[in-house]
Structure 1
């Protein structure tokens, strides 16, 4: 109950701050120097937040589709030999620094959202792939026997049994990818993507701690809310599939 109250208060604070950030100027004023502005006004904080969320959502969706398809392919008899290769590719995607991906993507794609999406997509593949793989390969033996007893084809078993039972773990992978991407997306502002990193970078360049805190605070609250939202969805799916 206490956790839900705190989450509700965090959501209310975030909505109020994004709707009327100037109201919170006295709260951030002590963090400024030399009469610098306490609230970032060069671009609407609400529009930056919505753009940030849109980029993260697109990247998470792409990572989820690619990771899930890859996990399905390597758990089928014809694709099992490609499992080591798939694991290597997804691991490299996360270990390769996003900043380096941006540096390589900008000459090919230009400045803007594109390079950021590529970096987040590669960075988010591993959690989804590994969780989907675990979900698809950890089915109880009696489930497989029941599916065979019902005369389900491999395709029917995949859609009607395997994927529904693996969904909680897939959602857990999406949760990790979403939270990681929320923080990592801030670096997209270095290549002109419209993210909350713009506020943080402006604060660093002007030595204005208030701006840095504002950008970090919004990203942090969003990460907590999305994390708990996915957790609630996972619990609901587990109950519906009889796993909770």
Structure 2
């Protein structure tokens, strides 16, 4: 708990009161360069970054979970190899390559970044959805059938709740991956913390790079930890260890 609170406090200070760190960060600058990123609001960039990750992860989760449900039904099993090939596209082509393809088609800014992040985030959620649904104990499903529950009731009341912790683990992994990957969106003019890192790289300002990297890293740690707590609670309710 103390570590979580410490990480949260450090993140808030970096975003809301970055001047607190100016004496330390000034040691990393040269030739009178600014120690604190001054080309925009760190709070606004952090909120833009969070919104970008949240939107892309939500889209990935919706598509991957629905596809995972489809291929775990008897009528959809035959589509499993094709579905795996589709969701693997985001892993075969790195986000930078997807951006290079998407920019000529949809222009600069938010849209090509969203496309890259959505594709990149599909695989962990899809595979965990399949693992979670296929991992439900057959005796449990038989018991539900014996109680007179129909296919839809068994899915909504038994199968999905039991699989939910495993599905959430995939969403957690996808979210954390995209928190780091979203920084590349700044190369195509998408708003986010990548701006701070790119500004540091462009001016050889290590202080800027450290600020952007720390905020992204703390966000990833806190989100991973927070989703992990939710996952553990759902697992306890579902009777999983």
TM-score interval, normalised by the smaller of the two chains: over 0.9
Q: Distance in 1 between matches of 2:153 and 2:44?
A: 44
What's 1:54 paired with? Answer: 51
1:8 matched to 2:5? The reply is yes
What's 1:185 paired with? Answer: 182
Deviates more, 1:68-77 or 1:152-161: 152-161
Q: TM-score, normalized by length of structure 2?
A: 0.98
What's 2:156 paired with? Answer: 159
The answer as to whether partners of 2:14 and 2:211 remain within 8 angstroms in 1 is no
Q: Distance in 1 between matches of 2:147 and 2:90?
A: 40
What's 1:233 paired with? Answer: 230
What's the offset of the Cα at 1:21? Answer: 1.0
- 1:162-186 deviations in Å (ceiling 9; x for gaps): 1111110111001100010000000
Q: TM-score, normalized by length of structure 1?
A: 0.97
1:216 matched to 2:177? The reply is no
Task: Kindly report which structure 2 residues correspond to 1:60-99, keeping only aligned pairs within 5 A, or say none.
Answer: 60-99=57-96
- 1:32-72 deviations in Å (ceiling 9; x for gaps): 11110000011100100000000000000000010000000
Q: Distance in 1 between matches of 2:162 and 2:24?
A: 47
What's 2:23 paired with? Answer: 26
What's the offset of the Cα at 1:152? Answer: 1.4
Deviates more, 1:63-72 or 1:104-113: 104-113
Q: Distance in 2 between matches of 1:29 and 1:6?
A: 26
1:150 corresponds, among 147, 150, 153, to 147
Q: Which runs of no fewer than 5 residues in structure 1 stay unpaired?
A: none
What's the offset of the Cα at 1:83? Answer: 0.4
1:38 matched to 2:35? The reply is yes
1:176 corresponds, among 169, 173, 178, to 173
Q: Distance in 1 between matches of 2:191 and 2:93?
A: 23
- 1:134-163 deviations in Å (ceiling 9; x for gaps): 000011121111111011111111111111
Q: Distance in 2 between matches of 1:162 and 1:125?
A: 21
Q: CA RMSD in A?
A: 0.8
- Size of the alignment, in residue pairs? 241
Q: Which runs of no fewer than 5 residues in structure 2 stay unpaired?
A: none
Structure 1 stretches of at least 4 aligned residues deviating more than 4 Å after TM superposition: none
What's the offset of the Cα at 1:88? Answer: 1.2
